[in-house]
Structure 1
C-alpha cells in the first residue's frame, strides 16, 4: 500500500507546522489579515490542521463546521480565495513538499472554493 500525502508530509505535527507558517503569512498580508481580526487563532490553527490532515488522507476526520456555514459571513471574493490559496501553495514550497503532493493538496483545497467564496467576482 502506498503512503498517503499525510504520511509523506510527516503527519499531524508536520502539517501543524505548515499551518502555523501559513497563518503567519496570512496575518502579515493586509489584503486578507482582516478576515482573522476576531478569530481565536489557536482554535483556527487546530481546525486548519485537522482539515488539511483530512484532505491529505490522514487518519483524521474533519469535524468543523461545513465550509459554507463557516465562511458565509466573511464576504470572501474569488481574489481573496486566490491570495489565500497562493499563500498555502507558497508555504508548501517553503516546507519543501514535493510538487505532486502540493498539486494534490491544492486541488483538494480548490474543490472547496464554491463553498468558501461568498461574494461574486470582484
Structure 2
C-alpha cells in the first residue's frame, strides 16, 4: 500500500504525513498491524487486557489521521488525559515506538516518512508519560 506511486518532488512538499503514507486505507492497515505487534509485546500488552480493541482501533485510526494532518474526526481525550494514572515509563513509550516503527518498516514506508511519524510521536511523549 505504501510507496506504490512514484513521488512527484514538486507536489511532495505540500503533502501532509497522512497523504504521504497513503491516506485512510494506509492508516487503517497500519493501525491493525501496529496493535498486532503491541498485543504480543510483554512490556505493554497488559495495558490492553480490559480494553475494547475494536473501539481502540477506531480511536487510534481517528487520532493518527488527525495527528498526521488528515481530516480531524478525533473526539477522544487528549494524550495526557487518555494516559493519566497508567504509570507509563520510558520503557513503555519505547515499546510503543518500536511497534510503530516496525509497522511502518513492514509496510515499506520510506525512512524520511518514518522520521516524520517518529517526530510527531515524540511531540506527545511528555503528555503520554504525564510529565
Unaligned runs of 5+ in 2: 1-10
Q: Which residue of 1 aligns with 2:121?
A: 109
Secondary structure of 1:3 counterpart: coil
- Separation in structure 2 between the aligned mates of residue 7 and residue 69 of structure 1, nearest angstrom: 28
Of Structure 1 and Structure 2, which has the larger fraction of its residues in helix?
1
- Separation in structure 2 between the aligned mates of residue 90 and residue 113 of structure 1, nearest angstrom: 18
Unaligned runs of 5+ in 1: none
Normalising by structure 1, we get a TM-score of 0.90
Q: Which residue of 1 aligns with 2:64?
A: 52
- How large is the RMSD of aligned CA atoms in angstroms? 1.4
Contact kept? 1:26, 1:84, Cα under 8 Å: yes
Structure 1 segments of 4 or more deviating over 6 A?
Answer: none
Equivalent positions of 1:73-88 (< 5 A) are 73-88=85-100
Normalising by structure 2, we get a TM-score of 0.84
Largest Rg, 1 or 2: 2
